[in-house]
Each structure stands twice: as structure tokens, then as C-alpha cells.
Amino acid sequence: MVTSPETRRGLLRRLLRTYLAPHWPELLLAFVAAAVSAAMTFLVANLMQPIFDTFIARDSGKLIPIAGAAFLVFAVRGLASYIQNIVVNRLGQRVVADIQRDTYDRLIEADLNVLHGQAAGALVTRMTADVNLMRYAVVESVTNAGKNTVTLLALIGLMFWKDWYLSTVAFLIFPLTGLYVSRLGKRLRKVSTATQVEQGRFASLLVQTFQNAKHVKASGAERFEKGRVDAAVERLFRLNLRAFRISALGEPVTEFASGLAVAVLIVVGGSRITGGHLTTGGLVAFVTAFLLAYEPMKRLSRSNAILQQGLAAAERLFDLIDVQPSIVDAPGARMLDAAPMSIELERVSFAYAEGGPPSLHRVDLSVPAGRTVALVGASGAGKTTILSLIPRLYDPSDGTVRIAGQDVRNVSLASLRAKIALVSQEIAMFDDTVAANIAYASPNASQAAIEDAARAAAAHDFIQAMPEGYQTVIGENGVKLSGGQRQRLAIARAILRDAPILLLDEATSALDTESERAVQAALQRLRTGRTTLVVAHRLSTVVEADRIVVLEAGRVVEQGTHQELIAAGGVYARLYGTQLRAAG
């Protein structure tokens, strides 16, 4: 939460410097148009004196020039306002685009622990609702505030020019009003921050519910989910209502102050005319200027409310934009050499959270180039963690990971990850066509290559049976496919990538027996000549591995070939025997 005027000013300066300053020619045009509009408003009020004085003097000869001047003033004011509104709107849309781009760029480059620590719905809310609030803060309350301020100053200047005494009396009333509106702004900022947080939670709840709709229905949990959504909607309703009430308080206060000021002007202005200090036309011009000043004054009050909401949103977004990733290229990082792609872990330890329980303890592991090594063990043993360290999704807390004899922290991320194909148990599918999903990591692949990869992954037949074949859109997270179909597309993606290092994390876990047999044959061909690290729960799928490494509680407890480990009668032999009995 924004806690001090200095912090608020710092946020506003950053918004102006980062997102408006690059567009200074358009900003200048908007201010020039605003100044012209303000000048015309000044002339509108000032024309009231010659009009009424001419009526009173019954000098009809002057009415035609005055009428022409009035028409010209209104026409110029309309044109200036149009130009200003068009330019301001374009600036606003540009600000939204720039902020959304910057936020997404930083998020997609952020470390996985940052992304996993945020609910997806909350991130979406920040990039949509919060960004729009920032647009209003930067444009509506800054650019339009400039127009309203210039207009207000011009009208105040006219009022003091017409009668300084009457102006002083009128403006004695408004300082207290301004103080009250400022206090309302502080309250509104607090409520706005709470509302934005609640909107993020609500969006996250909706994402979870819609993505897991099948499980909700199968569990008969519709009533439970309705209750959770109802409660979230009610919390949002109360917060939005509270924000509106606070914002709306400014208008009656301003109306009261204006009414009091007009009443005073009528009494004091009448005495000024009687005393010969002011003409009737001069009083009409003065009151007109005062009434015209009321609208920009009211808009400035609303601008303050918008600014407070926008600054609360800005602070939340800058919290994301300012996060610096730790998984980055080291200074002078070089390309990964095109050498035989061996993998080595030397005394590697790792914990997902600083100070948290370690997932790996001083692990030593060697995968010779072109060989296949399998990682086995119970859930939570550290198998998937090892796979995550190789493409530098995380860095080890201690120890070294080497590819082709090079510390992965000293080579560029792009060259490292270009040498790796990953098939994870967490299957990533996008709301796009089958062909686009297979070619996701190889965007320049031809249709023929995509189909060859699908055939190798035993996916071509079911793809051809779909309504539009390879051009069928599979829905968010591949919701239109079965688990086995999604996994075969993921394997086809890895086959198409044709990388020298292959990481397989439970790559056949969702396949039926027939499909698994076909995919295992495809993977066997794919592994030929490649360095492959396999994580498998079903030990029957890794008996042909060149070496099997057994993990337990983050430590390597056994390693060897299938036959050697069975003969040793240790952890692997017990696991294998248990699975064999269960299958029988």
C-alpha cells in the first residue's frame, strides 16, 4: 500500500517518465489543444459582459459582431476539445499496451518460483484491471487534469480581473472543501488496493473452477463452488460499493460549497453594483466564470479519486515489473559447444525455498553422451528436480551441473535450452491447432515434418480422425483430448525438436498398453545417439537403460544396470518386485 506522499510522488514520476515522456510530441499537442480550449472558455465567460451591457444600453448595432464572436469562440473550443480527446485517448491506449507488454515480458522471464508463487487469475487481473486503472491515472488524471487546471486558472484570473473583492469572498469557501476531498482520496486508495487484491482472488477462483469443471461435476461439488463464488462476489460488491460511496461524497460537498458561494455572490455582487464598483454585465460575466469554473473543479476532484486508484494499481504492477530474475545469462556467457552432450551433476544440493527442506543432498550423477540413464524412486525422491536443474529452470543451492563439460551457469540460456527436448508429466497444451502444438518448440517446421513426428509418437491416426485433422483446435490445456492423446502430442513435439539431449519425465504414464508399446518403440529410436535422462514410475519401462539411478529422500542410494540392481537385492529390487507382483 502507498504509505507516504513521497512514495506517491515517486510512483507518479515513474509513470510519467516511463510511459508518457516517450510520447512527448503527442502530449504537447494535447496540452496545446487543452490550452486553446481553456482560452475559449475564458472568452465565453468574458463575452457575457458586453452582451448584457449591450442589452441594457439597447445598442443593437453591437449584437451582430458579438454574436459572431460567440459562434467563433464555441466552434474553436469544440475543435480544440475534439483534438485533445482524440490525442488523449490514443495516449491512453498506448500506455495500456506499453504497460501490459512490460509486465508480460518481465513475468515470462521471471524465475519459476515467482510464477508458481502467484495465482494465475491474480496475474491476469493485474495485467487487465490494474493496467486500466493505471491508464486512467496517467491519462485521465494527469493529461485531463492539465486541461482542467488551465481552464480553472483562466476563469479564476477572469474573476479577479472583473472584481478582486468579490473573488476573494468567493474563494474563502473552497480551501476547506479541498482539504476534505484530499482526505477522501486517502480513504479511497486503501479501499481500491483491497478491491484489486480481491479481484485477483476472484479471477483465480474462476480459473480453477472452469479448468477443473469435470472434477467439480464428478465430485458433486457444484453447491460448494457456488458458495465460494457467491462469497467472493459479495466481498467484491461490498468493496466496490464502499469505494463508490467514498468517491461520491466529494460531489455533495462541492455542490454545497458552490451553492453557498453563489448565494454570497448574489448578496455581495448586488451591493457592488449599487456602490458603482461593478456593472450588471460585469456581475453576469463573473457569475458565469464562477459557474464554468465549477465543472473543471469537480473534474479535478474526480481526477484525484482516479489518481489514488491508479497509484494503488501502479504499486502492485511495479512489484511485478521490478522483480529481477536470478536465472539469467552470466556476464560473458558463451554458446554451449557442439561437443558430445554428456550430463554431470557434482555434489548438487537444492531446496525450492530458501531455508526450506532440501530436495537434493549432494547428488553425484553422470550421463555419458549418447547413453540413457533412468532415475527411479518413490514420489518426492528428487527425480523431477534433477530434470529441472539441467535446462536451468532452477539453479542448485550448492554444487555444479555440467553439460558437455561446461557449467550450465556459464553458457547462454538460449544455446543451452536449444540442445534440450523435454517431455514432462505436466503436459503443456495451448488453445491452438494440433499442428501448432506439435511445432510449438520448432515454429519453422514443415507440415511434413510435423506429420512424421506425429507418426513416430503414434499420434497420426487419432489426429486424422479429428474433425479438421491437424488444424483442429484442441481447447485450453488440450481439454478436447484425452490424457493419452495429450501425452502423445507432447512426445511428438519432442521428436520434432530433434535435440541432442532428451529429458523424459513419466513420458508414457498416461498411455494405454497398445499406445505405450508404440511410443516406447518410437522413443527407443529417438534415444539412439542422444543423451537421455528418463524419470519413470513404472520400472518395466526402464529395464533397458544403460544405467539406473535409485533416489531416496534426495540422495543417490543405488545405481547400476537392471540386472546388477536386481542381484544386489536393495531398494530397486524391492520396488521392482512390488510392481511385478501388483501387475501379476
* Average pLDDT of the chain to the nearest whole number: 80
| Residues 217-230, mean pLDDT to the nearest whole number | 75
Task: Please tell me whether residues 16 and 109 are part of one structural domain.
Answer: yes
* pLDDT tens column, 247-270: 666 666 666 766 677 777 777 777
Asked if the structure places residue 459 within a domain, the reply is: no
Question: The domain containing residue 409 runs over which residues?
Answer: 333-419+531-584
Give the number of domains in the chain: 2
* pLDDT tens column, 104-139: 888 878 887 777 777 777 777 777 778 877 777 776
Is residue 95 within 8 A of residue 132, CB to CB? The reply is no
User: Would you say residue 62 has pLDDT above 90?
Assistant: no
Whole-number percent of the chain with pLDDT over 90: 16
Asked if the structure places residue 464 within a domain, the reply is: no
**pTM of the entire predicted model:** 0.69
Task: Please tell me whether residues 256 and 375 are part of one structural domain.
Answer: no
Task: Please tell me whether residues 83 and 190 are part of one structural domain.
Answer: yes
Task: Please tell me whether residues 250 and 142 are part of one structural domain.
Answer: yes
Task: Please tell me whether residues 277 and 403 are part of one structural domain.
Answer: no
Q: Which of 58-62, 283-287, 389-393, 555-559 has the lowest mean pLDDT?
A: 58-62
Asked if the structure places residue 231 within a domain, the reply is: yes
The CATH code of the domain that includes 294 is 1.20.1560.10
Task: Please tell me whether residues 289 and 225 are part of one structural domain.
Answer: yes
Asked if the structure places residue 514 within a domain, the reply is: no
Position of cell 542422444? 530
pLDDT at 582: 65
Q: Which of 295, 321, 347 is the last residue of a domain?
A: 321
Asked if the structure places residue 499 within a domain, the reply is: no
Is residue 547 within 8 A of residue 559, CB to CB? The reply is yes
Task: Please tell me whether residues 192 and 48 are part of one structural domain.
Answer: yes
Q: Which of 254-263, 306-315, 453-462 has the lowest mean pLDDT?
A: 254-263
The CATH code of the domain that includes 542 is 3.40.50.300
Task: Please tell me whether residues 366 and 414 are part of one structural domain.
Answer: yes
Asked if the structure places residue 410 within a domain, the reply is: yes
- Sheet strands side by side (includes 360-367): 360-367, 343-350, 398-403, 406-407
Asked if the structure places residue 443 within a domain, the reply is: no
Asked if the structure places residue 108 within a domain, the reply is: yes
Task: Please tell me whether residues 142 and 10 are part of one structural domain.
Answer: yes
User: Would you say residue 223 has pLDDT above 50?
Assistant: yes
* pLDDT tens column, 337-359: 777 889 999 999 998 877 778 89
User: Would you say residue 214 has pLDDT above 70?
Assistant: no
pLDDT at 127: 78
Query: Please, which pLDDT band fits residue 1 given cuts at 50, 70 and 90?
Result: very low
Task: Please tell me whether residues 195 and 246 are part of one structural domain.
Answer: yes
| Main-chain phi, psi angles of 45, to 5 degrees | -65, -40
Task: Please tell me whether residues 272 and 366 are part of one structural domain.
Answer: no
Is residue 377 within 8 A of residue 320, CB to CB? The reply is no
Choose among 89, 90, 76: nearest CA to 42. 76
Cell numbers describing residue 78 = 469544440
Q: Which of 321, 352, 385 is the last residue of a domain?
A: 321
Q: Which of 274, 293, 321 is the last residue of a domain?
A: 321
Torsion from C-alpha of 191, 196, 199, 200, nearest 10 degrees? -140
Choose among 490, 329, 496, 331: nearest CA to 415. 329
Task: Please tell me whether residues 350 and 247 are part of one structural domain.
Answer: no
* pLDDT tens column, 365-415: 999 999 999 999 888 888 989 998 999 988 999 999 999 989 999 999 889
Contacts 24+ apart (CB under 8 A), 184-187: 184/246, 184/247, 184/249, 184/250, 184/305, 185/304, 185/305, 185/307, 185/308, 186/308, 187/246
Is residue 461 within 8 A of residue 469, CB to CB? The reply is no
The DSSP 8-state label assigned to residue 476 in this structure reads G
Instruction: Please tell me which residue, 363 or 217, carries the higher pLDDT value.
Output: 363
